[in-house]
Amino acid sequence: MVGGPVLTAAQMRAAEQAAFDAGVDDYGLMETAGAAAAAIIWRAGHRRDTLILCGPGNNGGDGYVIARILRDHGVPVRVAALGESRTPSGQRARAAWAGPVEDMMTAAPATQLVDALFGTGLARGLDEGVAARLCALAGAAVLTHAVDLPSGVETDSGAILSAVPQFGTCIALGAYKPAHLLHPAAGVVARLMLADIGIATPGTVRRLAAPKLAAPDAGAHKYSRGLVAVVGGAMPGAAALAAGAAAHAGAGMVRLHAAAGQAIPHAIVSQAADDLTDPRIRALLVGPGLGRDAQAAQRLARALAAGHPTVLDADALMLLAGAIERIPAGAILTPHEGEFQRLFGDLPGSKIDRALAAARKSGAVVVYKGADSVIAAPDGRAAVARGASPWLSTAGTGDVLAGLCAGRLAVTGDPFRAAGEAVWLHGEAARRAGAAFVADDLLGALPAAIAARL
Ligand SMILES: NC(=O)C1=CN([C@@H]2O[C@H](COP(=O)(O)OP(=O)(O)OC[C@H]3O[C@@H](n4cnc5c(N)ncnc54)[C@H](OP(=O)(O)O)[C@@H]3O)[C@@H](O)[C@H]2O)[C@@H](O)CC1
Ligand SMILES: [K+]
């Protein structure tokens, strides 16, 4: 589940500096970055007429390198600048282009547009006229590529600082940046590519990648594969949905502790009493449909006292607001924005920073849900998922995710890994379910999503 690195602007600069200190040539790195981007742009556009917009910093420098390489490959390239190059490497790349440079504000559009105006050095939104011109040129193009970042997005937060067009491709240089994965910035890019520029990019935040799952071994039986207990409550449907997801996630057996007489999937064992003492329980889920009254609080207290690896969702999170010290170490929490706020208040920084701070404070793995889910561990590791289906914004999908977390926790025994696998399977099941699905449909899509990762 470990994908490419995600670095902030400062971390990226530090990685570049470390490479320079180790003897990598400044300008050579820009040539490497430009060549990597040019190769991707060439594959997309071949000999289509191309306009490259170059800014005053090193992102603009990349643009001049790309322009020269594409021109040498026979692409009809024009370059339009926003001001003079101000960095030594940018000036060198500009000189090596050795072709005309138009003014971006008056340059005619082209079939293919490359945005090399600003990258990690963007300090504020673009001037209104410049942003409007960028949008107009992108709107007139058939193919659009952003070099490193779309100009106008804030690298570290994913905020949009000025009007940004939709890009077909964004070529992340050396590492992903938070803005590639966090909304709203992530939403302006259809296809995200990571270009290797040959420098080390150490860090503990990664993009969530497709997991490698394992089929049960030949001697497996239902208990060896993992027993999940789901504590139900006031709204039985939510817990039943979560139990179904836990069963489909690969757990050997799921026990739903709910009132008798409820409709539950046949493979799930219903047990009325809250006897959670069974030592074979490998994961316990409490929260979906639990309710928030005194009885719910009691059920939550019993669940926490049972001492099993625990997944806490929905109402359980609301009941624990103001009492995060009750959260067992190593638990998985699955808050959406509102639940996160209630539990942890207003934390500073990006969604990644907030998820990491919450994990540190609670000692739990935090799955900070949304279109851009962040999975954070207390030890500083985080995985960021990009591109969740917008159709997931429907009732019950959170219960499915919580069930998947419990199921994978029972199978793997590793909360961070389990949460990452759950988020990935949830996203993949949604992709396979297509459009306008309901939460129950995700269960049907899970076997194929799992099979694809064996
Ligand atoms: N380090 C390296 O060797 C390598 C770096 N690489 C590349 O460099 C990129 C980072 O380069 P960078 O740091 O030069 O920043 P960049 O994004 O080009 O812009 C900074 C310039 O814009 C200006 N400016 C800022 N905001 C503005 C605004 N709203 N409107 C107008 N002006 C504004 C700001 O000046 P300011 O006015 O803030 O003083 C400054 O002049 C990175 O994303 C990657 O593409 C790769 O080639 C690999 C090798
Ligand atoms: K750019």
pLDDT digits (tens, 9 = 90+) for 11-39: 999 999 999 999 999 999 999 999 999 99
Give mean pLDDT, residues 427-448.
95
Provide the pLDDT for residue 218: 84
The ligand minimizing its distance to the Cα of 149 is 2
The ligand minimizing its distance to the Cα of 117 is 2
Average pLDDT, whole number, for the chain?
A: 95
Q: Which CATH superfamily is domain 227-451 in?
A: Ribokinase (3.40.1190.20)
Q: What is the pTM of this model?
A: 0.95
Q: What is the atom index within ligand 1 of the atom nearest the CA of 126?
A: 29
Query: Does the structure's ipTM exceed the value 0.90?
Result: yes
CA-proximal residue: ligand 1, atom 36 (nearest): 123
Q: Where are the domains of the chain?
A: 2-203, 227-451
The finding on whether 124 has its CB within 6 A of some atom of ligand 1 is yes
| CATH architecture of the region 2-203 | 3-Layer(aba) Sandwich (3.40)
Give mean pLDDT, residues 256-270.
72
Decide the pairing of beta strands 2-5 and 112-116: unpaired
- The residue to mutate among 13, 17, 41, 59, having the most atoms of ligand 1 within 8 angstroms of its beta carbon, is 59
Q: What is the atom index within ligand 1 of the atom nearest the CA of 20?
A: 3
- Quote the ligand 1 centre to 123 CA distance (angstroms): 9
CA-proximal residue: ligand 1, atom 39 (nearest): 123
pLDDT digits (tens, 9 = 90+) for 342-400: 999 999 999 999 999 999 999 999 999 999 999 999 999 999 999 889 999 888 999 99
86 among annotated binding-site residues: no
- The residue to mutate among 52, 58, 126, having the most atoms of ligand 1 within 8 angstroms of its beta carbon, is 58
* Calpha distance 95→98 (Å, rounded): 6
- The residue to mutate among 120, 151, 170, 199, having the most atoms of ligand 1 within 8 angstroms of its beta carbon, is 120
The ligand minimizing its distance to the Cα of 116 is 2
pLDDT digits (tens, 9 = 90+) for 67-125: 999 999 999 999 999 999 999 999 999 999 999 999 999 999 999 999 999 999 998 99
Q: Spell out a b/e string for 231-249, using b for 16 or more CB atoms within 10 Å of the CB, else e.
A: bbbbebbbbbbbbbbbbbb
Crossing angle, helix 415-433 and helix 439-451, to 10 degrees? 110
The finding on whether 146 has its CB within 6 A of some atom of ligand 1 is no
